[in-house]
Structure 1
Amino acid sequence: MKIFEAIRKDHDIQRKLFDELIETSGDSERRTQLFEALKHELKIHEDAEERHFYKPLISDDMMQEHARHGIAEHHEIDELVEKLEETEQDSSAWLKYAKDLQHKVLHHLEDEERTFFQLSGKVLSEKQKEELATKYVAFMDECRNGVAK
């Protein structure tokens, strides 16, 4: 497996969680569960991606601006998550913020999949793509299993 496939699998998890979350209503147990799962996925994905994808690319002249942009978007996503955490789940503002977050995350995922992956594919060797995937997946598994304990 290459790094792009590993990241794309997690992108699909995030898309699915958003689809389900946006369909919930009010201050329900389901909304709370989905939001907690989404927050966790976003956080561990962000950490794994910055460590095992962006960091190795940021020193490359062609990739530096793109990597910094991706990291900046992660921070914007974190801010929207915080806004959701501070808002009552049964208020109409909560769903608006959730949709804003969904829009931001989906934009970020598309940027990565359509631009960043192609550019980084030219910079990374096949061996690097596989090694980064191994490290990325191991980190994600560790984070997911750590929460389950």
Structure 2
Amino acid sequence: MTIFEALRQDHEKQRLLLKILVQTHGDTAARRDYFEELKDELSRHATAEERHFYSPLMEYDGAVELSRHGIAEHHEIDELLEKLDDTDCSSPAWLRYLKQLKEQVEHHLDDEEQEFFQIGGRLLKEQQKNALGAAYQEEMAELA
């Protein structure tokens, strides 16, 4: 599996968790459980992605700014997760923050899939794509 396939697979998990969470109501065990799963998924994904996708891309002049942008978006997502953690999940503010998070994450995933993957596809050799995919998946499993 290439790095792009591995990332896209995890992107789909994140989209699904966000979709489910937006449909939850009030301070329920399900809302808390799905949110914890989403936080864990986003955290592991960001760490492994920065190591096994952004870092290798930064070796190429044409991808440095793109990689920095992606990493900055990870930090914005982290800040929204902190706001959600600090807000009672039954409050209307929690749902507002969740919708902001959904919008931010989906924007980030779309950026990666529509722009970053194309640039990475041109810059990385086939062997690198496969090796990075394996390393990414291994790290995701270790962080679980």
Cα offset for 1:59? 2.2
- The correspondence of residues 38-77 of structure 1 with structure 2, limited to 5 A, is 38-77=38-77
Identity of aligned residues (%): 53
Report the equivalent of 1:26: 26
Q: Secondary structure at the match of 2:89?
A: coil
Q: Mark the runs of 5 or more structure 1 residues left unpaired by the alignment.
A: 145-149
Superposition TM-score, scaled by structure 2 size:
0.99
Q: C-alpha deviations, 1:61-104, integer Å up to 9, x for none? A: 10000000000000000000000001111110000000000000
Cα offset for 1:142? 1.4
- CA–CA distance in structure 2, aligned partners of residues 143 and 72 of structure 1: 21
Q: C-alpha deviations, 1:34-81, integer Å up to 9, x for none? A: 000000000000000000110011121100000000000000000000
Once the two structures are overlaid, the 10-residue window that deviates more, 37-46 or 54-63, is 54-63
Q: Mark the runs of 5 or more structure 2 residues left unpaired by the alignment.
A: none
Superposition TM-score, scaled by structure 1 size:
0.96
Cα RMSD, aligned residues only: 0.5
Q: C-alpha deviations, 1:3-39, integer Å up to 9, x for none? A: 0000000000000100110110111000000000000
Give the count of matched residue pairs: 144
- CA–CA distance in structure 2, aligned partners of residues 122 and 29 of structure 1: 45
Is residue 128 of structure 2 the alignment partner of residue 117 of structure 1? no
Runs of 4+ displaced beyond 2 Å: none
